[in-house]
Chain A
Amino acid sequence: LAKTTQPISMDSYEGQEVNITCSHNNIATNDYITWYQQFPSQGPRFIIQGYKTKVTNEVASLFIPADRKSSTLSLPRVSLSDTAVYYCLVGDEKYGGATNKLIFGTGTLLAVQP
């Protein structure tokens, strides 16, 4: 069963770059890695998705090494409003490939201080 592992929490200060790493040792060959952000009492919100190497959008970058057993979400110059829980998501590799069953990790609580 695919499983993701993330740090439970991280602290940062405004203006710093934050890197959150997710371990997914059993990721399927054709599986993507997706990251979501969740504020209290709200549903998760899509941040970024990638398959390999590096992906960048207007809010974050995603780094995926060649073996794809981990991924790192990079948030440049965080602000107080980036305080949230961040989840990485992969598909379940049980059947030898990415399936329609999804496995979220327990998430990383990022606390940004002034």
Chain B
Amino acid sequence: EAQVTQNPRYLITVTGKKLTVTCSQNMNHEYMSWYRQDPGLGLRQIYYSMNVEVTDKGDVPEGYKVSRKEKRNFPLILESPSPNQTSLYFCASSLSPGWNSPLHFGNGTRLTVT
């Protein structure tokens, strides 16, 4: 089944403790991206990647890192999480850049930083 898989679904951590949220897709998609969703702010793009070893900043990249060492994986790294990064996070992939190709989203990761 074609899908985007994120893990974990729920994560509670403390300020400053490094964490990684994994994202994997099995559709051989070139484009992958991360979003955060907050009440009243909709979906905001954090980072995106056009292909292996090619990443770029989205609208809200501060406090996040990503890597794209393999085509199928695009982990989101929070080196030193802070409470303002408490949010619902989504990973997505598409065959080509999402402005002309449908995005496939994962089921989300709800992160709480205390």
Q: Considering only CB atoms and an 8 Å cut-off, how many residues of chain B contact the other chain?
A: 29
In the complex with contacts A41-B108, A43-B108, A102-B102 CB distance below 8 A: no
B positions within 8 Å CB-CB of A:
4, 31, 33, 35, 40-45, 48, 50, 56-59, 90, 92, 97-100, 102-108
Compute how far the CA of A31 lies from the CA of B50 in the bound complex, rounded to whole angstroms.
Answer: 17
Compute how far the CA of A49 lies from the CA of B40 in the bound complex, rounded to whole angstroms.
Answer: 24
Question: Which residues of chain A from 68 to 114 have any CB-CB distance to chain B below 8 Å in the complex?
Answer: 87, 89-91, 98-107
Q: List A contacts of B108 (CB < 8 A).
A: 41-43
Compute how far the CA of A46 lies from the CA of B92 in the bound complex, rounded to whole angstroms.
Answer: 11
In the complex with contacts A41-B108, A42-B107, A43-B105, A34-B98 CB distance below 8 A: yes
* Contact between chains at B56 and A104 (CB < 8 Å): no
In the complex with contacts A101-B58, A102-B48, A103-B45, A45-B98 CB distance below 8 A: no
Compute how far the CA of A43 lies from the CA of B9 in the bound complex, rounded to whole angstroms.
Answer: 12
B102 to chain A minimum Cβ distance, whole angstroms, is 4
A91 to chain B minimum Cβ distance, whole angstroms, is 3
